[in-house]
Amino acid sequence: MTAPKIDVDYTVLDCPDTEALATFYAQVLGWEIARNDGGWAVLQGPGELRLAFQKAPDFTPLDWPSDGIKIHLDLVVDDMEASEKYVLGLGATKLEGNENHPGFAVFRDPVGHIFCLCRRD
């Protein structure tokens, strides 16, 4: 059997306020909000990269580490210290520093999704 062409369109994060979370990640990544209709927002990154946000009023974040991570975003940075200060200033919460695992640190976005800042190799 020949495999059909299948591509990834969006990575989608559920959240209670699509505009607020899209704005947070737009500031973190330096991407533009390409669409925002209240229940769905999309960030456009370089090339075909896109990140979407879907309204989910009953969203509850995972209780990490007891629930595990399930899925998260790895964001690559050149300057770990400056990047940590920046995302914290935007409303992220640091969960675990890179002292436990050199090269990356674990954070929660303002809604509770987990993401990592990873030092670019």
81-95: pLDDT as tens digits: 999 999 999 999 999
Is the C-alpha dihedral spanning 64, 67, 68, 71 positive or negative?
negative
Summarize pLDDT for 36-58 with one digit per residue, the tens.
Answer: 998 999 999 999 999 999 999 99
pLDDT, mean over the chain: 92
Peptide bond before 65: cis, by omega within 30 degrees of 0?
yes
Summarize pLDDT for 23-40 with one digit per residue, the tens.
Answer: 999 999 999 999 999 899
Cβ–Cβ < 8 Å for 15, 57: no
pTM above 0.85, yes or no: yes
User: What confidence category does residue 68 fall into, taking pLDDT thresholds of 50, 70 and 90?
Assistant: confident
Q: What is the pLDDT of residue 28?
A: 97
Find the helix or strand (DSSP H, E) in which 100 lies: none
CA atoms of 65 and 63, how far apart (whole Å): 6
Find the helix or strand (DSSP H, E) in which 12 lies: strand 11-15
